[in-house]
């Protein structure tokens, strides 16, 4: 069973990985500014649930598939990069919802959960947690407990980015300002590809 010190270390690791900038947080900032916090809730819940499912499956042995077939991981990484480009385009085209010129819609729960499977940052977090924080004794109990801890830390962390986007939304009164903000978020998302394709 995980000791309290291991649980605390895991919580800190999950917090650092969840709160730092990455594709999920850039998209949530853009979603918060375009659609508001409430309409972005399915997106946030999908991220937390997708990360939890990934962690459970990696712990259950999916990570060994990538060890045996490294080309599969490479293909997944580049598929994720292409998808991030699509998401950047989608964010850049989003308009101000209050202006009546909004285009698109917020991510659904399923879209956000599925995105974690092509999100390299989520993979690094899941593999790192299983490798570093899961004692072998009572492994599956520890895996379930660790997944609960990660989920409890992840949701408030990513919520902060959506709240930031919602706060920025209140400052951006003109549709042109919102569009510029969304384009800046799209550029940041594309910039995050550097870490995806360089590892």
Task: Write out pLDDT tens, residues 10-68.
Answer: 999 899 889 888 889 989 998 998 899 999 999 999 999 999 999 999 988 865 776 67
* Residue 20 phi, psi dihedral angles, 5° rounding: -75, 155
Residue 94 has pLDDT above 70, yes or no: no
Higher pLDDT pick, 96 / 24: 24
Higher-scoring residue by pLDDT: 165, 191: 165
Among 30-39, 51-60, 117-126, 173-182, name the one with the lowest average pLDDT. Answer: 173-182
Burial 24-47 (b: 16+ CB within 10 A, else e): bbbbbbbbbbbbbbebbbbbbebb
Cβ–Cβ under 8 Å, residues 26 and 158: no
pLDDT above 90: residue 175: no
Q: How many CA atoms lie within 13 A of 127 on its CB side?
A: 14
* Mean pLDDT in residue range 158-181: 82
- Which residues are CB-contacts of 194 (< 8 A; sequence separation ≥ 6)? none
Among candidate residues 44, 39, 45, the one with its CA nearest the CA of residue 28: 44
pLDDT at position 101, please?
Answer: 41
Higher pLDDT, 63 or 188: 188
Q: Is the pLDDT of residue 100 over 60?
A: no
> What pLDDT shows up at residue 63?
59
């Amino acid at each position: 069973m995980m000791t309290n010190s291991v649980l605390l270390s895991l919580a800190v690791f999950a917090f650092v990985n969840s709160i730092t900038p990455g594709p999920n947080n850039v998209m949530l900032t853009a979603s918060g500014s375009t659609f508001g916090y409430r309409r972005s809730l399915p997106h946030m819940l999908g991220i937390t649930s997708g990360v939890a499912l990934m962690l459970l499956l990696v712990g259950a042995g999916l990570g060994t598939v990538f060890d045996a077939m490294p080309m599969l991981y490479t293909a997944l990484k580049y598929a994720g990069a292409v998808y991030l480009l699509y998401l950047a385009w989608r964010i850049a085209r989003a308009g101000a919802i209050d202006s009546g010129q909004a285009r698109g819609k917020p991510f659904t729960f399923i879209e956000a959960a599925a995105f974690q499977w092509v999100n390299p940052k989520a993979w690094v977090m899941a593999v790192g947690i299983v490798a570093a924080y899961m004692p072998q004794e009572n492994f599956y109990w520890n895996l379930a407990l660790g997944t609960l801890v990660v989920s409890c830390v992840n949701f408030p962390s990513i919520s902060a980015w959506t709240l930031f986007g919602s706060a920025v939304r209140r400052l951006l009164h003109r549709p042109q300002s919102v569009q510029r903000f969304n384009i800046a978020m799209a550029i940041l998302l594309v910039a995050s590809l550097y870490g995806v394709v360089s590892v």
